[in-house]
Amino acid sequence: MPDIFTYDIVEALRRSGCPLCRVDAIDDRRWVDSFWREGKQDPGTRRRFFAAGGFCRHHAWLLHRLVAAAGAGAAIADVYGFLAESDLSRLDDLRGSLDRGRRRRRTPLRRGSRCPACVAFEAGAERKIYFFVQLLAEASVRPHYGSSDGLCLVHFKPSLEHALDVDEDVARFLLDDWRRRLAHVRGQLAEFDRMRDYRYAAEPKGDEQRSWTEVIRRYVGERFTEGPGHD
Ligand SMILES: [Zn+2]
Ligand SMILES: [Zn+2]
C-alpha cells in the first residue's frame, strides 16, 4: 500500500489527537501549498478557481497564511487580481443592464462551482477512510491505533460504515475501541461532576479536569487548521 496517505496515517498514530484529523489537515495544507506554487498555472485548476469565485473563507485564509509565511504575496496578486478583474466586468454588466432598465433573473455574482480546495479535501478525506480501514486489517497496526488518541466521531462514523461494508472484523475492532474511549470520557465527566461538589473540593484534581475539553475533541475532532506548524 505505498500511498502517501498510508504513510501519513501511520505517522499520525504516533502523534496527538485524532489521526485522521491530522492527516486531513496535512493534506489540506499540501493541496493549497501546491496550488499557489504550481497548480494555479494549470488551466483546469485555474478555471475551477475562477468558476468558484476564488476559495471559501477557510481556504482563502489558509492560502493567505501559507503565502505570507513564504513571503510570496505575488501568488495571491496573480489569481485574485484576475478574479477581481473579471468581477469588475460582471459588476459593470450588471450596472449597464440596470441603466437599460432590464431585469435580470439570475443572481448577478452567483458562482458556477464550489471552492476547488473543498472539493479536493472531501475526495481526499474519503480516500483516507478507505486506507485507514485497510491499515486496520493488519493485526500489527492495531496496537498502534489502540495507543493513539483514536478517532473523533466525525472520522469514526465513516470509518465504521466503510468497515461494515468491507471487513466486519475491522468493524468489530473499531466499534469496541471507540466504545471504550467514549466510556472513558463519560466516566471522567462523571468524576468531574462529582468533584465540583464542595464536599470533595479538597481532593486532588486530575485528568477529569480536562474531560469537558476531551469530550468535545472526541465528538468533533481537532483544530489542526490554525496554520503551518500548528499542532
Ligand atoms: Zn478526526
Ligand atoms: Zn474551501
What is the rounded average pLDDT of the residues 81-88?
95
pLDDT of 3 reads 67
Percent of the chain scoring above 90 in pLDDT: 73
What is the rounded average pLDDT of the residues 164-180?
98
Instruction: For residue 107, give the C-alpha cell.
Output: 443572481
What is the rounded average pLDDT of the residues 37-56?
92
Confidence of residue 195 (pLDDT cuts 50, 70, 90): confident
Radius of gyration of the CA atoms of the chain, in A: 23
pLDDT of 231 reads 39
Cα-Cα-Cα-Cα dihedral of 226, 11, 156, 166, to 10°? 140
Cα-Cα-Cα-Cα dihedral of 134, 135, 140, 146, to 10°? -110
- Ligand nearest, relative to CA of residue 31: 2
What is the rounded average pLDDT of the residues 101-110?
71
Tell how far the Cα of 115 is from the centroid of ligand 2, in angstroms.
Answer: 5
Q: How far apart are CA 65 and CA 29, in angstroms?
A: 10
- Ligand nearest, relative to CA of residue 219: 1
pLDDT above 90 for 188: yes
pLDDT above 80 for 225: no
- Ligand nearest, relative to CA of residue 60: 2
pLDDT by residue (tens digit) across 119-148?
Answer: 999 999 999 999 999 999 999 999 999 999
Confidence of residue 105 (pLDDT cuts 50, 70, 90): low
* Residue the block writes with cell 476531551: 214
pLDDT by residue (tens digit) across 2-22?
Answer: 467 788 899 999 999 999 999
Instruction: For residue 5, give the C-alpha cell.
Output: 496517505
Residues lying with their CB under 5 A of ligand 2, a single-atom ion:
56, 59, 115, 117-118
- What's the per-residue H, E or C state across 137-186? CCCCCHHHHHHCCCCCHHHHHHHHHHHHHHCHHHHHHHHHHHHHHHHHHH
pLDDT above 80 for 108: no
Contact 145, 12 (CB under 8 A): no
pLDDT above 50 for 1: no
φ/ψ region of 111 (left if φ > 0, alpha if ψ in -120 to 50, else beta) reads beta
* Residue the block writes with cell 468581477: 87
Q: What is the pTM of this model?
A: 0.86
Per DSSP, the residues of 12-43 read HTTSSS-HHHHHHHHHHHHHHHHHHHTGGGSH
Contact 59, 32 (CB under 8 A): yes
pLDDT of 224 reads 74
Tell how far the Cα of 210 is from the centroid of ligand 2, in angstroms.
Answer: 32
pLDDT above 90 for 181: yes
Confidence of residue 194 (pLDDT cuts 50, 70, 90): confident
Tell how far the Cα of 68 is from the centroid of ligand 2, in angstroms.
Answer: 18
Tell how far the Cα of 25 is from the centroid of ligand 1, in angstroms.
Answer: 10
pLDDT above 50 for 230: no
Tell how far the Cα of 192 is from the centroid of ligand 1, in angstroms.
Answer: 24
pLDDT of 66 reads 96
